Structure 1
Amino acid sequence: MTETSAVAAGPSGTERRGGVVRAARGFGWPAAVAVAYTILQLVLVVPGSGLGWDETVYVSQVARDAEAAFFSAPRARGVTYLIAPVTALTSSVEVLRGYLALLSGAGLLLALWVWRRLLPAPVLALAGALFAGLWITVLYGPQVMPNLWVALGSLFAVGCFLRGARDRSDRVALAGLCGGVAFVALMRPSDALWLALPLAAAALLVRAWRRPLPLLALAAGAALGCAPWVVEAYVSYGGLSARLRRASEIQGDLGWHLALDDQVRALDGRLLCRPCDIPWRRPVTAVWWFMLPLLVVCGVLVAARARRLAVVLVPTLAGLSMAVPYVLLIGYAAPRFLLPTYALLALPTATGLARIGRAAWPRPLAVGALAALLAAHLAVQYVVLDSAAARGRTNRVAFGRVAAELARQGVRPPCVVSGAEAVRVAYLAGCASRQTGGHDGSVTPAGLVALARDRPVAVVVAGEDARPAYTQGWRVLRLPDLPGRSDWRAYLSPAAQGKPVRGQLNKSRTEKRN
């Protein structure tokens, strides 16, 4: 990798101040993109949405009126710290969603703002729009999941890295690099590793960047962000190596797993593809995915000709690095896994598209064709987003009915729910969730029977699954169907005795929380 003098040489104080003023004046369009992104979330995703399974696990850790669900080895608590100020005050999902929508819009603005001295504002606005226009980005903006925050933190950290490389006196950029990597590590420690690797390599291979401070900032950020996860490994998981082994087992044993085709199929709106043996019904949803490599290469070539190669090549390499575990090492797919890659690759993509747009202007036919392609892309994204958001609203109603029915039958706090979909049902019913096996195993059958002696316990079974032997003699309750699955039933311990009046009151409480 070579570096141009424009990046290697730091600007003078006067040039730096003048550049900041010009960049700030032209930053209106990126700011407008961030505002539009927030509005899209508030209008299309937030109303009526309920918590997903993973979200419920994270929220339950800090919710003021819920039992904490089992926290498995791969998870990190960064996103729980992010939502704690809201969950300490209210259990309203709408308030939590609105808070995250506003915060993610502000995060996108901050991540783009760091790049204002490195790339023109129109290119940044286009990059922000390309990333924020994806259905995945809009859907996960107000969700209690770490992947979008990893994406924004990575975009911020790479921008700070390049600013520090461009201007050795920019200590604020080095502090931002340390903070950005720490933030990513707090959300997902493994992602921070894949982010830091290409940045450390660039700092070592490019002669003009070869100095200790950027490397120290990277190392300090990774150490600070990973520290809570490592400490928790020794406190709750039997040590770091034990936690890493268990995390690998839960994720299907990390190793060589080519999951490119799984990621493509998941773009059809599948939030988790495990196993990903579904048919590829709507190939049009992945057209942009196949065009992305060509646009990235185009952007890198354009940047090279404009003597801005490093500014575009570094985020490209970082984005590809962060995709490695999710397309080569994990045998399943979820569109959210690649959000950090999409955020970083949006920069070279926007650079290439901006050059194509300038070449087409003012030819009406070429401009019209580009506008039509962009409109078609956004239309496809909206269709998938609308379908995914509708499923979330349907799930909210269905799980609320199940929790309300359990409450009517006497499953009220303090209580325990086990079995199929126990995490979400337990959270809505105000119960603890405990599993007797699987990845989330946290109690033995004998231990669950012991709990049932003095509190209501419900074991949920779906479809043709057999009744657990330890529930013999317990009452059987037919539960309302959940989307895509029928014949749900619960086996209720003798302590669960229905009282209709209190059950109706509990139903109102459940629906309010949901």
Structure 2
Amino acid sequence: MSLVVPKRVPKRPRPGRAGVAAGSPLPLAALAVAFVLIQLLFVIPGLNLNWDESVYASQVTPHIPAAYFSAPRARGIPVLLAPLTFLTSSTLALRIYLAVLSATGLSVALWVWRRLLPMPVIALAGVLFSGLWVTQLYGPQAMPNLWVALCALAAVGCFLRAAGDRGDRRALVGLCLAVAAAALLRPSDAVWLSLPMAAACLFVRRWRRPALLAVLLAGLALGGVQWIVEAYLSYGGVAARLHRSSAIEGGIGWHLAVGDQLRTLAGGPELCRPCSVPWRHRTSAIWWLATPLAAAAGVVLAGRVRRLATALLPAVCGASVAVPYLLLIDYAAPRFLLPSYALLSLPAADALAASARSVRPRLRLAATALVAALVVAQLVSQHVILDRAVRTAADGTGDYARIAADLRKHGVRPPCLITGRLATPVGYQARCASGQITGHNRNTTVAEILATARHEPVAVLVEPHHKPPAYARHWNVHRLPGLRVHHGYRVYLSPSESQKKM
């Protein structure tokens, strides 16, 4: 098997244009600025930390007790947040920091491809990916999926560069670092991402280089060593941690989740588990169904111009990293497929660009205008969904801050403990420890809760139509008014010191 990889796209100005060269970073810089502005204007305002973000941020934020860190999680996001959280716990500062960082990461990951694809194709791929509502929603959020997507873009680009040019040592270093970062963020995603590249090293004759495979494996080892060490220290080994992770995720096995993913495309739910919601706004799935077709067309067209590898490998890696989320788990979230969207955007953009170039010269302007109109229509439709998704997310995360404010009014201040449903995100907002006596996040016992209640405030959050735990039934109960999503919640508060003395 032989795949042709171009070593370099010539860096020369286009005829008749004295401005931007083919390899100029200006289009990607403009894309990064636009991506930041969209996040600042349409995503960040009013968006508090969600459940998972609270877990990650609590690990590295001083003066906030660390929430329970379950087996499936990895330490990449806390590492990413640490430089800022050591300085401030401000949610707004965190959002701005991540918005700027994600936009910079997007432009850097795409810049890796400048020697493999024409800059207009790279920029168009960046527009297609960054224009998705799910990309924009998670740009300023402390969640791993978008960062895995950027690592995937960089890793596949570096792999192709190193495969096509044995003297490109920077590409080898970039491949190792990108795969290591992906493994630090989500080890399982890094493995699925790396499988096609490892297979290419073994079965593509021109790429049978021990150094290339060694660098790929070194990246996995470098990024995964922390997860492995933690597995032995906290879970009894890798196998035990994987078993625990599988149990928390509902069991890894054959589960066709394509329909579940379709239900999340209209702006939520952010986590569809169990995914029994109806499939509304079905037109929002048109782009999702068209993307693999466009990517396949891009692969075919790239083969005709003798750069098959630059379209085929990202398409195969994109399909590989989607396998667990489409076939092996029984729930869905729109963010799960971000790495696939990022990789498939390259051959899809190549197909769109080629469709405008392949017509007769006199029709080329009209074809280009048609492609531009399709892209603009896609961006507009995604913005409509983004607006709906942001409002939903802001209402839900805003409830956590509202509950924390009510608890402070009732005397729940650090040091304190919150347990029950929503304890993790509310605990972060209230600067309290969070604990659970049941479920996958079990990290305390009734005896420990009662012992804590003797010297600091303890709050038990209880869902609507649910009874409080037996140990808290005689505690002070308060309604939690003004909630937008979590209606009917109430809190049971341990007796204060003055009440205990009476």
TM-score between the two structures when normalised by the length of structure 2:
0.94
Report the residue type matching 2:169 in the other structure: R
CA contact 2:395–2:485 (8 Å) conserved in 1: no
Aligned partner of 1:431 in structure 2 is 432
Stretches of structure 2 lacking an aligned partner (at least 5 in a row): 14-19
CA contact 2:2–2:206 (8 Å) conserved in 1: no
Correspondences of 1:184-199 after superposition (within 5 Å) = 184-199=182-197
For residues 88-115 of structure 1, the C-alpha deviation after alignment (integer angstroms, 9 at most, x for no partner) is 0011111111111111111011101110
1:477 match: secondary structure: strand
Aligned partner of 2:341 in structure 1 is 342
CA contact 2:130–2:136 (8 Å) conserved in 1: yes
User: Whole-Å Cα distance in 1 between the matches of residues 435 and 21 of structure 2?
Assistant: 54
Report the residue type matching 1:117 in the other structure: R
Report the residue type matching 1:311 in the other structure: T
Aligned partner of 1:98 in structure 2 is 96
User: 1:367 Cα deviation (Å)?
Assistant: 4.6
Aligned partner of 1:2 in structure 2 is 2
Q: Alpha carbons of 1:497 and 1:75: their partners in 2 closer, same or farther (altered >3 Å)?
A: farther
Aligned partner of 2:69 in structure 1 is 71
Q: Alpha carbons of 1:362 and 1:76: their partners in 2 closer, same or farther (altered >3 Å)?
A: farther
Q: Provide the aligned C-alpha RMSD in A.
A: 2.0
377-386 vs 81-90, which moves further: 377-386
Aligned partner of 2:494 in structure 1 is 493
Q: Alpha carbons of 1:497 and 1:322: their partners in 2 closer, same or farther (altered >3 Å)?
A: farther
CA contact 1:23–1:116 (8 Å) conserved in 2: no
Aligned partner of 2:16 in structure 1 is none
User: Whole-Å Cα distance in 2 between the matches of residues 444 and 137 of structure 1?
Assistant: 40
User: Whole-Å Cα distance in 2 between the matches of residues 354 and 496 of structure 1?
Assistant: 71
Aligned partner of 2:17 in structure 1 is none
User: 1:18 Cα deviation (Å)?
Assistant: 8.5
416-425 vs 391-400, which moves further: 391-400
Q: Alpha carbons of 1:397 and 1:193: their partners in 2 closer, same or farther (altered >3 Å)?
A: closer
User: Whole-Å Cα distance in 1 between the matches of residues 262 and 474 of structure 2?
Assistant: 48
2:115 match: secondary structure: coil
User: Whole-Å Cα distance in 2 between the matches of residues 365 and 128 of structure 1?
Assistant: 23
Aligned partner of 1:311 in structure 2 is 310
Aligned partner of 1:506 in structure 2 is none
Aligned partner of 1:504 in structure 2 is none
For residues 179-207 of structure 1, the C-alpha deviation after alignment (integer angstroms, 9 at most, x for no partner) is 11000000000011001110000111111
CA contact 1:79–1:145 (8 Å) conserved in 2: yes
CA contact 1:398–1:483 (8 Å) conserved in 2: yes
User: 1:366 Cα deviation (Å)?
Assistant: 4.5
Aligned partner of 1:371 in structure 2 is 372
2:114 match: secondary structure: coil
296-305 vs 367-376, which moves further: 367-376
1:114 match: secondary structure: helix
Q: Alpha carbons of 1:353 and 1:16: their partners in 2 closer, same or farther (altered >3 Å)?
A: closer
Q: Alpha carbons of 1:16 and 1:485: their partners in 2 closer, same or farther (altered >3 Å)?
A: closer
2:460 match: secondary structure: strand
For residues 476-510 of structure 1, the C-alpha deviation after alignment (integer angstroms, 9 at most, x for no partner) is 11112533332111111113779xxxxxxxxxxxx
Q: Alpha carbons of 1:195 and 1:463: their partners in 2 closer, same or farther (altered >3 Å)?
A: same
1:307 match: secondary structure: coil
Aligned partner of 1:220 in structure 2 is 218
CA contact 2:399–2:486 (8 Å) conserved in 1: no
User: Whole-Å Cα distance in 2 between the matches of residues 301 and 69 of structure 1?
Assistant: 49
Aligned partner of 1:170 in structure 2 is 168
For residues 71-91 of structure 1, the C-alpha deviation after alignment (integer angstroms, 9 at most, x for no partner) is 000000101101101000011
User: Whole-Å Cα distance in 2 between the matches of residues 146 and 475 of structure 1?
Assistant: 39
CA contact 1:319–1:344 (8 Å) conserved in 2: yes
For residues 220-257 of structure 1, the C-alpha deviation after alignment (integer angstroms, 9 at most, x for no partner) is 00001001111111122222221111110111111111
Report the residue type matching 1:347 in the other structure: L
CA contact 2:12–2:22 (8 Å) conserved in 1: no
472-481 vs 448-457, which moves further: 472-481
User: Whole-Å Cα distance in 2 between the matches of residues 344 and 25 of structure 1?
Assistant: 20
CA contact 2:11–2:22 (8 Å) conserved in 1: no
User: Whole-Å Cα distance in 1 between the matches of residues 498 and 441 of structure 2?
Assistant: 28
1:433 match: secondary structure: strand
Report the residue type matching 2:152 in the other structure: S
2:490 match: secondary structure: strand
Correspondences of 1:59-458 after superposition (within 5 Å) = 59-270=57-268, 271-359=270-358, 363=363, 366-458=367-459
Report the residue type matching 2:229 in the other structure: V
Report the residue type matching 2:355 in the other structure: I
1:476 match: secondary structure: strand
User: 1:317 Cα deviation (Å)?
Assistant: 0.6
User: 1:23 Cα deviation (Å)?
Assistant: 6.8
User: How many residues are matched?
Assistant: 490
